[in-house]
Structure 1
Amino acid sequence: MTTEQTYWLEHAWLDTNVEPGVAVEVTGDRITAVRTGVEAPPPNATVLRGLTLPGLANAHSHAFHRALRGTVQVGSGTFWTWREVMYSVADRLTPDTYHALARAVYAEMALAGITTVGEFHYLHHQPGGTPYGDPNAMGEALIRAAADAGIRITLLDTAYVASGLKSATRGADPDRHQLRFSDGTTQAWAERAEGLKDRPHARIGAAVHSVRAVPAAQLGTVVEWAETRRAPLHVHLSEQTAENDACQAVHGRTPTQLLADHGVLGPRTTGVHNTHVSAGDITLLGRSETGTCMCPTTERDLADGIGPAVALQRAGSPLSLGSDSHAVIDILEEARAMELNERLRSHTRGHWTAAALLRAATADGHAALGWQDAGVIEAGALADLTTVALDSVRTAGPVPRLAAEAAVFAATSADVRHTVVGGRHVVRDGEHTLVPDVPGELARTIAELKEQG
């Protein structure tokens, strides 16, 4: 039986404007009507007080990195030393423990107003590389975890078959940690990934881990797989200067140029980070309409650098946002950080309006994940809503017409009061309705993983 319900939004962000008194009518999982100027809640309407946004999209996640929070903040180092700690967590996960961890992480995302996550997934096999009885057991664990937490997922099943660039035709063999990431070849990856199927809350996409993890000669297989399914295709791109240097040494071109030469770039492709790209790279990404997913909290946590987001967007690359390693899970902070990072670099303010940053966090983020029917509050869209309090110590004060500015530049995930996914009230008054003790679940699952180390 299809349910019908009405949500009354005290204030709503509708594309570029904040409107007071908005009634959103929902049938099943979709919005059927949006009425503005509704001064009082209609009878039997669910009231959402604060500023309601379209559901937020987290376009880049590695769920198991959540177990690193705090642990990796001791001492110094680089991305490459951080990676060794990351491997130690990856080695411990099984389908059951990954399901438990991801369920808690995705519930934390729901509490932060995230209604859709893009999971960049490469933990495919058992440590040592032996497949599970179900070769997609780890991916299926993530899909179940998202369902349990009440959010949508795009599982970006990731090809990762080499440990680094070796020659123009082949990569270096995976090390002992990376064996569980690898299917041996991208053809074997494609055959395994074929077993993953879309479902109402989950869509299947593809990913090239990076040019160092997929030899150039094998990129075409991943491109063809995604093209056949009209699926999103993501790739870590120029996150580190060492990757650029190695690609120049082996291929005589930048990673972006290499991807362009092998047909990877295009409107359904998103480059994650795009931190150390040249002017020529920016032109290639923009002209091909390849998206850019910025992950500012991770990029600063790992000392990666500040990517040229302004130049990329001006060239034609749509922007989305991700929490990546989950140093924090807060898409409002990612949006704010993108602007503030650019201010530090340029010594000028106001590169994006609050509305532009919210678009990256909502509609453009969903589009990058293959959910073009989400990320807006309008008839026909999926009924995904995120309500930010306007009366907390962080957000109180600005007049309602500046509520979007207050949300982007002052609010945090702690100010999210309601999250609605497909018409289902997943977070109500700051409490998760499906996972009653999210902090407890996180603490228990992470403690159990650390006990194994």
Structure 2
Amino acid sequence: MTRYFADYAWLGGDQVSDRVLIEVDGERITAVSAGQDRPADAIHLAGVTVPGLANAHSHAFHRALRGRTHRGGGTFWTWREDMYAVAGRLDPDSYHALARATYAEMALAGITCVGEFHYVHHTPDGTPYPESNALGEALIAAAADAGIRITLLDTCYLTGGFGVDLQGPQVRFTDGSAANWAERVDRLTAPAHARIGAAIHSVRAVPADQLSTVASWAHEHGTPLHFHMSEQRAE
């Protein structure tokens, strides 16, 4: 059991509480109580303590798009062209560098855990890396470097739209089928700061007859299931 004593802490609502005792057992906060005297063994937290925030939906490589997507006002489609151009150039080293910078900024802003919606899986021509989860492992390593916890939401992505084949950089997103996706994700391992989750990119990128495979994998493994429910009006 570890105890922390905060001079002030935000516990919800529109004001802070004073003299807050926080008790932690392993990785779980077990008790929070305000108006307490400071125990001799408690770690002192000066100033105002705020609970760590969670970013539930991150695309770490989008950091490279800053200031580059609003020409002429921009649309979803012009933004997507620029995003695909960045996605097409990623490799494990550059992805690690981008993600480490992104996660470090999150940590500095008070975000302590992130859900990374990860769909860039393979080499630019769609061939798997010798280590089939090289890009996902780069993200997990980047989170460790930045000191943030991560849920890697490994994303199934199979089509370029409703009845549309994958094109250009999209070919590196796909495993060919949801069954192949599940087989690859089974090879991912999670160190202490990470967990593996499942994701469906969208209803336009995963055909209806493939959805249940992803959902079943998540259910069987007891992991989160995440998706873009409606990324654009057509969905």
Structure 2 length-normalised TM: 0.91
Residues 219, 30 of structure 1: alpha-carbon distance in 2 compared, 3 angstrom cutoff:
closer
> Do 1:8 and 1:42's aligned partners in 2 also have CA atoms closer than 8 Å?
no
SS in 2 for 1:164: coil
Partner of 2:185: 193
Shift of residue 240, structure 1, vs aligned partner? 1.0
Change (3 A) 1:30 1:48: farther
Q: In structure 1, which of residues 39, 45, 48 is the aligned counterpart of residue 46 of structure 2?
A: 48
Partner of 2:200: 208
Letter in 1 for 2:127: T
**Equivalent residue runs for 1:280-359 within 5 Å:** none
**Counterpart of 2:104?**
107
Amino acid at match of 1:47: L
User: Hey, what's the Cα distance between the residues in 2 that align with 1:222 and 1:152?
Assistant: 23
d(CA) in 1 for partners of 2:230, 2:186: 28
Residues 44 and 225 (structure 1), Cα distance of their counterparts in 2 relative to 1, 3 Å cut = closer
Can you list the C-alpha shifts for 1:67-91, whole angstroms capped at 9, x where unaligned?
1111223332211110000011111
What is the distance in 1 between the residues matched to 2:68 and 2:128?
Answer: 29
Q: What is the rounded CA distance, in whole Å, between the counterparts of 1:43 and 1:232 in structure 2?
A: 37
Distance 1:225 1:43 in 2: 45
Q: Deviations 1:194-252 (Å, cap 9, x if unpaired)?
A: 111333211111111001101111111111111111211111122211x23xxxxxxxx
Q: Secondary structure at the match of 1:23?
A: strand
The aligned amino acid for 1:86 is M
2-structure distance, mates of 1:189, 1:90: 19
Partner of 1:223: 215
Q: Does the CA-based 8 Å contact 2:202-2:231 persist in structure 1?
A: no
**Bigger helix fraction:** 1
1:66, distance to aligned residue in structure 2 (A): 0.9
- Specify which structure has the bigger relative contact order, considering alpha-carbon pairs within 8 angstroms and separated by 6 or more residues: 1
Which residue of 6, 9, 14 corresponds with 1:9? 6
Relative to 1, partners in 2 of residues 1:32 and 1:164: Cα closer, same or farther, differing over 3 Å?
Answer: closer
Q: Distance in 1 between matches of 2:105 and 2:85?
A: 23
CA distance in 2, matches of 1:196, 1:174: 25
Per the TM alignment, residue 104 of structure 1 is displaced from its structure 2 partner at its CA by: 1.3
Whole-angstrom distance in 2 between the partners of 1:204 and 1:101 = 20
Alignment partner of 1:174 is 2:166: yes
* Corresponding letter in the other structure for 1:49: G
- Is this contact kept in 2: 1:20–1:39, CA < 8 A? no
Structure 1 Cα separation of the partners of residues 119 and 136 of structure 2: 9
Report what 1:332 is aligned to. none
- Determine the C-alpha separation between the residues in 1 that align with 2:104 and 2:75: 30
Question: Which residue in the other structure is 1:92 paired with?
Answer: 89
Q: 1:34 aligns with which of 27, 32, 36?
A: 32
Is residue 134 from structure 1 mapped to residue 126 from structure 2 by the alignment? Answer: no
Number of aligned residue pairs: 234
SS of 1:184's equivalent in the other structure is coil
Partner of 1:69: 66
Tell me the secondary structure at the aligned position of residue 64 of structure 2: helix
Question: Please, which moves more after superposition, 75-84 or 133-142?
Answer: 75-84
Partner amino acid, structure 1, of 2:193:
H
CA contact (8 A) 1:7 1:48 kept: no
In structure 2, do the counterparts of structure 1 residues 42 and 36 end up closer, same or farther at CA, with 3 Å as the change threshold?
A: farther
- The 1:123/1:48 distance shift into structure 2, 3 A limit, reads farther
Deviates more, 1:98-107 or 1:36-45: 36-45
Residue in 2 that maps onto 1:154: 151
Aligned residues of 1:10 and 1:49 also touching (Cα < 8 A): yes
Distance 1:6 1:93 in 2: 43
Structure 1 residues without counterparts, runs of 5 or longer: 167-171, 245-453
* Counterparts of 2:51 and 2:73, CA distance in 1: 39
Partner deviation per Cα, 1:139-183 (whole Å, 9 max, x = no partner): 0111111111111111110000100102xxxxx211011001011
1:22 aligned to 20, 25, 34, which one?
Answer: 20
- Structure 2: tracts of 5 or more residues without a match: none
Shift of 1:185: 1.0
Aligned to 2:141: 144
2:79 to 79, 82, 89: 82
